[in-house]
């Protein structure tokens, strides 16, 4: 059996991308897409050439988080063109292909895999310093496809997002084991929504039991790096809902400091 032509084509396409980073989470709603978006904005701000690929086929939220709702992708001779937020920040999402953003995408596995393959093979990113891949929550067949297709192109590693609750941490353990099993390096774990810092008096209140510290301990137990925590800040949700770059707008907030530390550490 000869080499898989799809994998060859993907490896070829990815040869102009220096670093490929997967963003994973055990559960939905923990802030994975928010982190992917803020990370992409932050890297682009440092003058890197950045691509953000949203392969969360059933819940593509990236277009909204980047203020790109209603945009469409264009075809050219060299493949699909990403939608650009800035000259150095391109975005590709299945959300651009849905006529109604509230359309639930209920596709069979084979069709999802086909789309993932097309995304990795046919998007004309040009030269990129970073490709940030926002994946669906959990460890599904789609993750296996992504890893399988990207492996020969070389994945730098995965950042895993969690919240402090034990239920979320349990799923993160599965995520870590998945990465270890398929041979994707883990850049580290981020604890999001880690307490609430009152914008008026700066007092920190823990919201979820077992409170801060659970993720640190889990990282220690499983021998992975803890990248840092990001507190809840209602302004994060508001800025993201409106597709704005939160960290730029609130440079001195605790959540921005959290994002910055995590990005530096990873």
Question: Residues annotated in the binding site, as ranges?
Answer: 26-33, 198, 201
* Contact pattern from residue 37 through residue 76 relative to ligand ADP, giving x for each residue in contact according to CB under 6 A and a dash for the rest: ------------------------x---------------
Residue count, binding to ligand ADP (CB under 6 A)? 18
Closest approach, Cβ 59 to ligand ADP, in A, equals 7
Q: Which is nearer to ligand ADP, 28 or 114 (CB)?
A: 28
Contact call for residue 229 and ligand ADP (CB under 6 A): no
Under the binding rule (CB under 6 A), the answer on residue 113 touching ligand ADP is no
Residue 256 interacting with ligand ADP (CB under 6 A): no
Distance CA 106, CA 118 (A): 18
Q: Binding ligand ADP by CB under 6 A: which of 32, 112, 117, 121?
A: 32
Under the binding rule (CB under 6 A), the answer on residue 143 touching ligand ADP is no
**Residues near 60 by beta carbon (within 8 Å), at least 6 away in sequence:** 54, 93, 94, 95, 98, 105
Distance (Å, whole) CA 41 – CA 198: 25
Cα dist. 38→48, 77, 103, 121, 202 in Å? 14, 31, 25, 25, 23
Binding site for ATP: what residues are annotated? 26-33
Nearest to 190 by CA among 7, 29, 31: 31
Binding site residues, ligand ADP, CB under 6 A:
25, 28-34, 61, 192-193, 230, 232-233, 236-237, 240, 255
């Amino acid at each position: 059996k000869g080499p898989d032509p799809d994998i060859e084509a993907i490896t070829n396409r990815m040869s102009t991308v220096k670093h490929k980073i997967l963003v994973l989470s055990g559960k939905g709603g923990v802030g994975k897409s928010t982190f992917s978006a803020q990370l992409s904005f932050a890297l682009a701000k440092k003058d890197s050439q950045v691509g953000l690929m949203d392969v969360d086929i059933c819940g593509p939220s990236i277009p909204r988080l980047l203020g790109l709702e209603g945009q469409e992708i264009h075809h050219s001779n060299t493949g699909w063109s990403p939608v650009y937020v800035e000259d150095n920040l391109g975005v590709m999402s299945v959300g651009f292909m849905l006529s109604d953003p509230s359309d639930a995408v209920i596709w069979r596995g084979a069709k999802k895999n086909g789309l993932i393959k097309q995304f990795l093979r046919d998007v004309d990113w040009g030269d990129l310093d970073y490709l940030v891949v926002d994946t669906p929550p959990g460890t599904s067949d789609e993750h296996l496809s992504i890893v399988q297709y990207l492996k020969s192109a070389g994945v730098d590693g995965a950042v895993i997002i969690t919240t402090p609750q034990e239920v979320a941490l349990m799923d993160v353990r599965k995520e870590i084991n998945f990465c270890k099993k398929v041979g994707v390096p883990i850049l580290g774990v981020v604890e999001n929504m880690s307490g609430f810092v009152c914008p008026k008096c700066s007092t920190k209140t823990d919201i979820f039991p077992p409170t801060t510290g659970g993720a640190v301990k889990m990282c220690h137990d499983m021998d992975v790096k803890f990248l840092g925590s990001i507190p809840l800040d209602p302004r994060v949700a508001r800025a993201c809902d409106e597709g704005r770059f939160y960290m730029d707008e609130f440079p001195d907030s605790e959540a921005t400091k959290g994002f910055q530390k995590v990005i530096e550490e990873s």
